[in-house]
Amino acid sequence: MTAQEVSVDQVWSWLGDVPDPEIPVISVVDLGIVRDVRMLDDECIVTITPTYSGCPAMGVIADAVKDALHAHGLEARIETRLSPAWTTDWMSASGKAALKGYGIAPPVQQAIDISGLHAGIRRRAAPDVTCPHCGSPHTQLTSEFGSTPCKALYKCLDCREPFDYFKCH
Amino acid sequence: MDAKFAKFDYLLRQGDNALILSQQLCQLVGKGPALEEDMALSNVALDLLGQTRMWLSYAGEIENQGRDEDRLAFLRDAGDYRNCILVEQPNGSYADTLMRQFLFDSWHYFLMDGLTRSSDERIRDIAAKSIKEVTYHLRRSGDLVVRLGDGTDISHAKMQTALDELWMYSGEAFIYDEIDNAMVEQGVAPAAELLRKQFLDHVAEVLQDATLSMPPLEAWMQRGGKQGRHSERLGYILAEMQFLQRAYPGATW
């Protein structure tokens, strides 16, 4: 199959089935890291952006995207783009719901633009994170960092369960 | 001053600061004083390594001599490294590690903020990506400086000692040379005076909350790292970091 026989929408739909390697309940499209799909002559070009600059999953994600399209008979080239920098605001509503169902509290605040970051360098009240297990708003930050760069550790003060929180970024 | 050379050197400085600090933090993986700290150190190291890659790959493109980020990282000797001496200071006790991080983060944050307004588009993009991570680093290290400074008598004493010993390495970044000045003239980098003021204001505010005494502003500041004159320690750091590529040149995964 050549790029000319496939629509861009079709490619987006195929990419919607490619899971994030660390959080398999959410697709790379739901995560907001696929920024663009283009057809150029006989080639399909998929542009992805890193979540965190050192995210070790980027290589795996690029390979997974290529493999998925290859399985549909389409050869793709992956480009990475830094700007605009990825933000949790690009995560889809269905992606956030899937995270919650998986036991990871989704990012709660609207990410702030760069000019507003100064307020964030002093200690500030932790965001109101709701427990993904029991829904209680009584939660506490236990660690600023978690199992991956994109997560922090919280615990619920009501059901006492620990859980991951997808950091707002 | 050749404009291309100046930018190449300036990019190396950014990449090398992040790389050497990342390498040092990586030595603490599995040895953190608490699980949360262990994870924080390795995550900060990972962020810095990602930033290193962005800076050094751009440096290699500007130089245009076929050196990519891996060659620049693994095949340059100490004299060609351009990091500030602060980041090659030993991990020491946890107070030393943390204070080094706080001084670095405070400077790094305001530098990245300045670079988001750089005249160079690629530098703007890298800074905009980095500052989100750096903000998080600074919030954490500042928070811990306050907790430990305003903690027990012992933690307070350790933090004050760490601060006093590291202070002389905190000023090199603001002592601009012809490379830095060329970058300021081209609108690439922020001016030293503003950066220093932002840094000192923030550090003073946190140290006050931490009940720590700020060392004298007129103290002698060590310098030389940006020009390749390093402490002996950098050689040991590179010996470990570069071992594989030196012993098995060109080895790949």
Domain boundaries A3-80, corresponding CATH code? 3.30.300.130
Q: Does A122 touch chain B (CB under 8 A)?
A: yes
Contacts of A49 (CB under 8 A, 6+ apart): A33, A35, A80, A81, A82, A85, A86
pLDDT tens, residue by residue, B161-220 = 999 999 999 999 999 999 999 999 999 999 999 999 999 999 999 999 999 999 999 999
Of B252, B245, B225, B226, nearest to B73 by C-alpha is B245
Q: pLDDT-derived band of residue B253, with 50, 70 and 90 as boundaries?
A: confident
Q: pLDDT-derived band of residue A114, with 50, 70 and 90 as boundaries?
A: very low
Tokens of B124: 């703007």
Task: Please report the pLDDT score of residue B80 as a whole number.
Answer: 98
Q: Do B40 and A122 count as a contact with CB atoms less than 8 A apart?
A: no
Tell me the chain B residues in contact with residue A145 when contact means C-beta distances shorter than 8 Å.
36, 39-40, 42-44
pLDDT tens, residue by residue, B46-97 = 999 999 999 999 999 999 999 999 999 999 999 999 999 999 999 999 999 9
Q: How far is A3 from chain B (nearest CA, A)?
A: 30
Q: What is the mean pLDDT of residues A38-59?
A: 88
> Which domains does chain B possess?
3-213+224-247 (1.20.1260.10)
Q: Do A153 and B129 count as a contact with CB atoms less than 8 A apart?
A: no
For residue A131, the SS3 value is coil
- The residue ranges of every structural domain in chain A are 3-80, 93-166
Tell me the chain B residues in contact with residue A169 when contact means C-beta distances shorter than 8 Å.
132
pLDDT tens, residue by residue, B91-103 = 999 999 999 999 9
Quick check: ipTM above 0.90?
A: no
- Residue B181 CB burial class (10 angstroms; 0-12, 13-18, ≥19): middle
Q: pLDDT-derived band of residue A3, with 50, 70 and 90 as boundaries?
A: low
Of B17, B7, B137, nearest to B73 by C-alpha is B17
Q: Do B43 and A145 count as a contact with CB atoms less than 8 A apart?
A: yes
Q: Count H helices, E strands: chain B?
A: 10, 0
Contacts of B191 (CB under 8 A, 6+ apart): B184
